[in-house]
Amino acid sequence: MNHPLSLAAGVLPEFEPSQVARAAVAAGYDMAGFTIDPDNWSGAHLSRLKSQLADEPIDVLDVEVVWLPAGGAVTDAHRLILDVGAEVNAANVLVVTSEPDVNRNAEALHRLCELAAPAGMRVVLEFLMITEVRSLASAAEIVRRADHPAAGILIDSLHLQRSGESARDVAAIDPTWLPYSQVCDGNLACEDFLVDAIDLRCAVGEGELPLGDLMSVLDPKLPLSLEVRSKRYRDEFPDASDRAGAMLTRTRAGLAALARD
């Protein structure tokens, strides 16, 4: 496996994007991803991020998160995230939704694609149990109806497990719909979906998920975002670069072990 590895913004939620970029470079990642919070975003944030990327270049895998509201409206806040993504040459924009209707989601996804495509960005829909799109099958139907080449699906290894789907379902998806994937390990059982997603993840090889099955059906060169939101790691490594480095080292070891099995 020769996956480019990206530092997901969720590994360092208390740090601003320029600090995430600096930590990714220091740790040796191939890429990084950034959370853009429209309610707390300013020209100064963008200036610091662009300056950091200019001083120590690193590819930007994604910006997040465009959260569609009930009704599926595309808002100015969403456009800000897209604009920042374009400014930093992000490859992807991550989308989740609170709208249950398939057609309204498809229409919103198509509109986002129209806005993102001129900058070369893909628009990826993530499925997870705390949104209205809770399965790979549902996400695939929305992408199919959106009918835009920029539309795609984001598979997160934890959310795939929670959906009750498996690597077999991933293998059945059009691979052009999968521009990258989020990967982490975790517990097989889950008592609270939100706590599970933001506090209880771990690096590949440290948990119980059937990651070998998933990795076997992904393109071996597909970028992987290390979406390891973990209270344990936040407590153990308060320094951004130290946490990013530990995550990368442990994930590489876990991926290597999977490749040997």
Please determine, for residue 244, whether its predicted confidence score (pLDDT) is greater than 70: yes
* Rounded Cα gap, residues 168 and 203, in angstroms: 23
What domains are defined for the chain?
5-260 (3.20.20.150)
Instruction: Tell which phi-psi region holds residue 52, choosing left (phi > 0), alpha (psi between -120 and 50) or beta.
Output: alpha
Q: pLDDT tens digits, residue range 135-180?
A: 999 999 999 999 999 999 999 999 999 999 999 999 999 999 999 9
Query: With b meaning 16 or more CB within 10 Å and e meaning fewer, what string describes 107-136?
Result: bbbbbbbebbeebebbbbbbbbbebbbbbb
Output the six-digit token pair for 16: 């601003």
Radius of gyration of the chain (CA): 17
Percent of the chain with pLDDT over 90: 98
* Rounded Cα gap, residues 71 and 52, in angstroms: 37
Can you give the pLDDT at residue 261?
78
Can you give the pLDDT at residue 260?
87
| Nearest-10 Cα torsion for 57, 126, 254, 230 | 90
Please determine, for residue 199, whether its predicted confidence score (pLDDT) is greater than 70: yes
Can you give the pLDDT at residue 60?
98
Q: pLDDT tens digits, residue range 17-36?
A: 999 999 999 999 999 999 99
3-class SS of residue 64: strand
Please report which confidence band the pLDDT of residue 182 belongs to, taking 50, 70 and 90 as the band edges.
Answer: very high
Can you give the pLDDT at residue 1?
62
Cβ count within 10 A of residue 178: 19
- Residues 35-61 have a mean pLDDT of 97
- Among 59, 45, 48, which Cα is nearest to 91's? 59
pTM for the whole structure = 0.97
- Residues 118-142 have a mean pLDDT of 98
* Rounded Cα gap, residues 20 and 191, in angstroms: 30
- Please confirm whether the linkage preceding 93 is cis (ω < 30° from 0): no
Longest dimension (CA), the chain: 48
Percent of the chain with pLDDT over 70: 100
> Among the residues of the chain, which ranges form H helices?
17-27, 43-55, 76-87, 102-116, 136-146, 157-163, 167-171, 193-199, 211-217, 231-236, 240-260
Can you give the pLDDT at residue 248?
98
- Residues 188-204 have a mean pLDDT of 97
* Rounded Cα gap, residues 227 and 170, in angstroms: 18
